[in-house]
Amino acid sequence: MILADRLLTDCHVAAMTEGGAPYGAIEDAAILIQGGRIAWVGPRADLPVHKAVETDRLSGRWVTPGLIDCHTHLVFGGDRSGEFERRLEGATYEEIARGGGGIVSSVKATREASEDALYDSACKRLEGLKATGVTTVEIKSGYGLDHDSELKMLSVARRIGREAGVRVRTSYLGLHAVPPEHKGDRAAYVDKAVDQILPAAHAEGLVDAVDAYCEPIAFTTDEVARLFDKAEALGLPVKLHADQLSDGGGAALAARYHALSADHIEHTTEPGVQAMAEAGVVGVLLPGAFLMLRETKAPPVALLRQHGVRMAVATDCNPGTSPVASMTAALNLACVQFRLTPEEAIAGATRHAARALGLQDEVGTIEPGKAADLAVWDISRPAELCYWLGAPLLDRRYLAGQAAS
């Protein structure tokens, strides 16, 4: 007999496991949860002898793994709606950045904001993600760009993970932009970001992974390699903003360091894709930024498929280039703009997103032993998660087997 804390029944399950039925679908299914983990999942007719403390009858709804937003900049001060207006008037992202706007404009607002203010504003944005089925969120630093502000951002991210009803993985993004006070001496800032801020954040237990922005308007491959060498020495995995605006060898650099993921990758060419495939690097597609920047060069999806690179999908929620706070919107955009199939897109927000965070053994599929992080949907088939744009589809979420608000 299985002793369970909770039984979910009268439902259909999209387990998102590889192989077998599309979406890993189990019609007329049941799920047993014990100790925050999946104890059993399968057809309701095969339900083993059990005793459950609570039973939730889901009236024929679909259950998926809780969605995973594996690339966000959720914590920041202020907003950049003025830059949005400027881009609509014809200014490019590069022009705005080189003129002192872009990331640097968010740095001032973030430095000035208190931890409580950053927490409160981030939680407002988080509500949009939770309302679209998200149970795990990656949150980057990178709008502080000094010791105290970077650690402040990462501390807020940890607090969100403790208090706001989601799992959180943090990424130190010290090489995001050169702060204004180092404009004339970028080498000094790289030294500080690599040799001082990262070790301090790691010593306080604030860092799960290390990220960087590798572009001509940001940091070179040599500068990023220095950061990644430090991360490696500290035992931290890496990920990379790669090849978003140009093919600067970012994907190959990510592969060289066996990064968890290379993100954006619109301009990655076949050698970079091959290197990602050989190193097991996940390609994270960010259709919100593609939309907001009105880009025309889409990521090389056909090459990623051809070489067997796993594709994740994320919101890239940030104040400048992707003010997107809806995971289902990101799924829709991934299908419409990048021509992913709905099954590819949902896999990209579940099992592949889990791998992009190093959490593939914990979340991302509905299998015995995995955490019972689940989303329950008012839909008739899984593809509806990618079909509707803005419709309220979520019925409820479970985090570690407990109903989550």
Cβ atoms within 10 Å, residue 55: 12
352 is in an annotated binding site: no
How far is the CA of 299 from the CAs of 171, 251, 341, in angstroms?
A: 23, 12, 15
Residue 80 counted as an annotated binding residue? yes
DSSP-based three-state secondary structure for 324: coil
Number of residues written out for the chain:
405
Residues 148, 154: Cα–Cα separation, whole Å: 10
Q: What CA–CA distance (Å, rounded) separates 20 from 345? A: 17
**Any known ligand binding at 244?**
yes
| Local structure of 353: helix, strand or coil | helix
Phi/psi at 101 (5° precision): -95, -150
* 302 bridge partner residues: none
Residue labelled with tokens 């990656």? 138
CA distance 347 to 299: 17
**CA pseudo-torsion sign 212, 217, 221, 227:** negative
Residue 182 among known ligand-binding residues: no
Residue 68 sits at φ, ψ, to 5 deg, of -125, 120
Q: Give the distance, in angstroms, between the CA of residue 294 and the centroid of all CA atoms in the same chain.
A: 21
DSSP alpha helices (H): ranges in 178-264? 186-192, 198-203, 221-234, 250-256
- Of 31, 30, 71, the closest CA to residue 173 belongs to 71
Identity of the residue numbered 265: I
Residue type, 388: W
Q: Please indicate if the annotation marks 71 as binding a ligand.
A: yes
Structure token digits, residue 273: 């894709």
Q: Is 73 annotated for ligand binding?
A: yes
Q: Which of 23, 5, 63 is nearest to 395 (CA)?
A: 63
Answer yes or no: is 57 a known binding residue.
Answer: no
Give the HSE-up count for residue 55: Cα atoms under 13 Å, Cβ half-sphere: 9
Number of alpha carbons in the 13 Å side-chain half-sphere of residue 286: 34
Among positive and negative, which fits the CA dihedral 313, 318, 322, 328? positive
Q: Is 50 annotated as a binding residue?
A: no
Amino acid at 280: G
316 is an annotated ligand-binding site residue: yes
* Binding-site residues for Fe(3+): 71, 73, 241, 316
* Binding-site residues for Zn(2+): 71, 73, 241, 316
* Binding-site residues for 4-imidazolone-5-propanoate: 80, 143, 176, 244, 321
* Binding-site residues for N-formimidoyl-L-glutamate: 143, 318, 320
* Binding-site residues: 71, 73, 80, 143, 176, 241, 244, 316, 318, 320-321
